[in-house]
Structure 1
Amino acid sequence: MSSSPFVVFGYGSLIFKPPPHVHSQVSGFLKGYVRRFAQKSHDHRGTPENPGRVVTLIHKEDWDRFSGSDAFPDEDIVWGIAYTIDPVYEVEVRDYLDYREKDGYTMETLDIYTTENGVEKVVIHDAYCYVGRPDNPSFIGSEPLDALADRIWHSVGPSGRNKDYLYHLADSVRKLAPASHDSHLFALETRLRKLDREERDNSARGREGQGPNVL
């Protein structure tokens, strides 16, 4: 085990499904990164034949080279939660996270910021974070929002429906802090809710079209 605390920053499913053995946690944000549904999910929210999409954290300067379809090119703040792990269980949690994040993610160390009285400051130095670099085999890059929303809405994997992942993440990010906005995430949420409504409306019209049974 390391002498300093093991702190991991969650920006995706770790926000609504935290790692085990959390000693303490704090909301905060990263600067100079974007959170995008730019990673294929073959093992959780999709299948090898029909991969879903999950978020990855990308250096802003890297993303600029892949973001031709990005509707929000100027954002570079990512809100999430920094979890301090009980030192007794550090090795166990590291192994758990390495397995959970095995589909193309690399561990990096980052500074976590917070805002107090309108002033930004680093609240945690060198927190660990799993980042999907552009050269990993599951990186898909930027896709038009409507096409991306359709892919997420239809995808299902061993961990459940891809759209439920997005809904959980959007709800969780919204609750982190008054400033924890994410235009990309919330725009996708709006599109998926629209697809849900259209499905319900189509189902209702189908039931009405059947009419009453006549003997």
Structure 2
Amino acid sequence: MSIGDSQQESAENPHYVVFGYGSLIFKPPPHVKHRTPGYLKGYVRRFAQKSHDHRGTPENPGRVVTLVHKADWDAFSESDAFPHEDVVWGIAYTIDPLYESEVRDYLDYREKDGYTLETLDVYGVDNGTEKIIIKNAYCYVGRNDNPSFIGSEPIDHLAQHIWKSVGPSGPNKEYLYHLADSVRKLAPESYDSHLFALEARCKALDDGQEKKETSSSSS
């Protein structure tokens, strides 16, 4: 895949660039000048963060994705057997400098439920060669010591929880489906075993519910 679908950014890009790996992929920030698909190295993307304010409630939090260093994930992920060769694909958004302060405030509020702002290098492939395409892009990460981090859960339990959870921003499963669809569209290489396994299990629950309702209405 080429570096991006817009103007290529220098690895030494001085602009305000935000890397989205979760809801920012399908619900971008405002005032975006350029968007560049790319991926992170050394991390896994997991539904390991509670959502008290978007896809769940304080009483019944949903689950949303966060980034975890692969080495850290190994320490508390005995129930997670997904391969580490999957890479975290997302989109790097270059923000219009005129609106940088406004977008920073917007994202700080949107990602307030346990996320910390970090800087990470974004990779891409240019003419068959892997390279850093953006250095020090900003990224909101739910570190494993934040109060909303829940860690690894058995995949079937996690799918059931996502499938039934609802918050002010809508059903938790809607977030999962949007993210899975968006990741597929980024690049042929953007396979995410954990994400797609959860999607398959939740859609199986949808099918089961639909069959139950059909059977009930016809009896």
Shorter-chain TM-score category? over 0.9
Within 5 A, what are the aligned runs for 1:38-117?
A: 38-75=48-85, 77-117=87-127
Matches within 5 A, 1:1-215: 4-75=14-85, 77-209=87-219
Residue pair 2:86, 2:192 contacting (<8 A) in 1 also: no
TM-score normalised by L of structure 1: 0.94
* Cα contact 2:30–2:103 (8 A) shared by 1: yes
Q: CA deviation at 1:130?
A: 0.4
Secondary structure (helix, strand or coil) at the match of 1:64 reads: helix
* Alpha-carbon separation, structure 1, partners of 2:85 and 2:109: 30
Would the aligned equivalents of 2:55 and 2:62 in 1 still touch at CA under 8 Å?
yes
Write the deviation string for residues 33-88 of structure 1: whole angstroms up to 9, x where unpaired.
Answer: 01000000000000011100000011111111121111215245200000000001
Q: How many residues align?
A: 207
Distance in 2 between the 1:132 and 1:75 partners? 21
1:68-114 Cα shifts (integer Å, max 9, x gaps): 11121524520000000000100110000000000000111011001
Over the matched positions of the two proteins, sequence identity in percent amounts to 73
CA offsets 1:12-33 (integer angstroms, 9 cap, x no match): 0000000000010100000000
More deviation, 48-57/70-79 = 70-79
**Secondary structure of 1:82 counterpart:** strand
Instruction: Give yes or no for contact 1:34–1:75 (8 Å, CA) kept in 2.
Output: no
CA distance in 2, matches of 1:138, 1:75: 26
Contact preservation (8 Å) 1:50, 1:155 = yes
CA contact (8 A) 2:43 2:68 kept: yes
Supply the distance in 2 between the matched residues of 1:50 and 1:118 (Cα, whole angstroms): 46
Residue pair 2:50, 2:64 contacting (<8 A) in 1 also: yes
Which runs of 5 or more structure 2 residues have no equivalent in the other structure? 1-12
Q: Which runs of 5+ in 1 are unaligned?
A: 210-215
Does structure 2 conserve the Cα–Cα contact (< 8 Å) formed by 1:32 and 1:76? no
Alpha-carbon RMSD: 1.1
Larger radius of gyration: 1
